């Protein structure tokens, strides 16, 4: 997917004089931003991390997580070294054995969200317990989850404001500053007649080398939003 963002919990908890724990995801943020793929109903966004035992002794752990204020359609999965757990809340209390982590070792975790085409936000709270006392939380950490729709109106408006074409004047190839929101480009003469059309799914830049010198209008279109912006460019074949 695209790019996957992870977290770091940088404050180890001392369980005893000999034991320290640390949950680590990467990079060090408290808000987990993930990008929605509006074309993939089965998109799964994975966030890999670790539960570290930084102490000198083996630890026997239980854990739980709960996701609140998130869209109920989201499917949440947490996998540790033993099993995978599903739902907006889960724990490993029912396992016959706790999660054992040797000294200076770690348990691999993967926290996954299947947003089912629904953008939104939520909060996830992780709690860790020593196996000998399930009534006492020995470590807790809270994160904000954001699944962002890159085609949302507010996001597009911000990108459109910065949208531009370059170089201008242009001799051969024209570029778009941010083609992530542009699906099609149409080049018009000053009479409003289309003279070139580009599908941005197949090109990286706009070849205007065959156009005569003059002023043209470049219309940038989004499939859902329609015309985003029109820029005036000067085409100059010859050097001064």
Structure confidence by residue, pLDDT tens digits, 47-59: 878 888 888 889 9
Q: How confident is the model at residue 3 (pLDDT cuts 50, 70, 90)?
A: very low
Does the bond joining 183 to the residue before it have cis omega, within 30 degrees of 0? no
pLDDT of residue 24: 61
Please give the share of the chain, as a percent, with pLDDT higher than 90. Answer: 53
Neighbours of 36 (CB within 10 A): 23
Say which CATH class 13-148 falls into: mainly beta
Domain boundaries, the chain: 13-148, 153-235
pLDDT of residue 178: 83
Is the pLDDT reported for residue 4 higher than 50? Answer: no
Is the pLDDT reported for residue 15 higher than 50? Answer: no
Rounded CA separation 65/90 (Å): 6
Is the pLDDT reported for residue 5 higher than 50? Answer: no
Lowest-confidence pick of 14-23, 41-50, 200-209: 14-23
Question: What residues form DSSP beta bridges with 53?
Answer: 21, 105
The total number of residues shown for the chain amounts to: 240
Asked, colleague to colleague, whether 13-148 and 153-235 share their fold, the answer is yes
Lookup: tokens for 62: 């239980």
Higher pLDDT, 33 or 102: 102
Query: Which residues are CB-neighbours of 148 under 8 A, at least 6 positions away?
Result: 33, 34, 35, 36, 119, 155
Q: Which residue has the tokens 């998109």?
A: 43
Tens digit of each residue's pLDDT (9 = 90 or more) over 61-74: 999 999 999 999 99
The answer to whether residues 45 and 1 touch, using CB atoms and an 8 Å cutoff, is yes
Rounded CA separation 124/7 (Å): 12
The answer to whether residues 127 and 63 touch, using CB atoms and an 8 Å cutoff, is yes
Rounded CA separation 155/59 (Å): 45
Say which CATH class 153-235 falls into: mainly beta
Q: What is the mean pLDDT of residues 16-43?
A: 69
The answer to whether residues 19 and 53 touch, using CB atoms and an 8 Å cutoff, is yes
- CB crowding 5-22: b at 16 or more within 10 Å, else e: bbbbbeebbebeeebbbb
Tens digit of each residue's pLDDT (9 = 90 or more) over 108-130: 888 899 999 999 999 999 999 99
Q: What is the mean pLDDT of residues 140-163?
A: 80
Higher pLDDT, 83 or 150: 83
Summary mean pLDDT of the chain: 84
Residue 7: CA count within 13 A, CB half-sphere: 26
């Amino acid at each position: 997917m695209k790019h996957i963002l992870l977290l770091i919990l940088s404050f180890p908890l001392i369980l005893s004089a000999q034991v320290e724990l640390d949950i680590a995801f990467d990079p060090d943020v408290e808000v987990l931003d993930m990008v929605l793929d509006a074309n993939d109903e089965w998109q799964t966004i994975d966030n890999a991390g670790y539960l570290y035992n930084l102490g000198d002794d083996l630890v026997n752990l239980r854990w739980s997580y709960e996701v609140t204020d998130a869209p109920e359609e989201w499917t949440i999965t947490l996998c540790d070294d033993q099993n995978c757990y599903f739902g907006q809340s889960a724990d490993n209390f029912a396992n016959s054995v706790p999660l054992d982590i040797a000294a200076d070792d770690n348990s691999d975790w993967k926290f996954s969200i299947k947003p089912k085409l629904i953008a939104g936000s939520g909060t996830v709270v992780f709690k860790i317990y020593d196996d000998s006392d399930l009534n006492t939380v020995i470590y807790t950490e809270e994160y904000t989850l954001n699944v962002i729709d890159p085609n949302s109106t507010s996001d597009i408006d911000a990108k459109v404001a910065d949208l531009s074409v370059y170089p201008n004047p242009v001799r051969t190839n024209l570029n778009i500053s941010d083609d992530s929101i542009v699906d099609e480009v149409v080049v018009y003469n000053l009479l409003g007649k289309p003279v070139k059309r580009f599908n941005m799914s197949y090109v990286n830049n706009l070849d205007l080398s065959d156009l005569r010198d003059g002023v043209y209008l470049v219309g940038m279109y989004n499939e859902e939003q329609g015309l985003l912006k029109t820029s005036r460019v000067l085409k100059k074949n010859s050097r001064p």
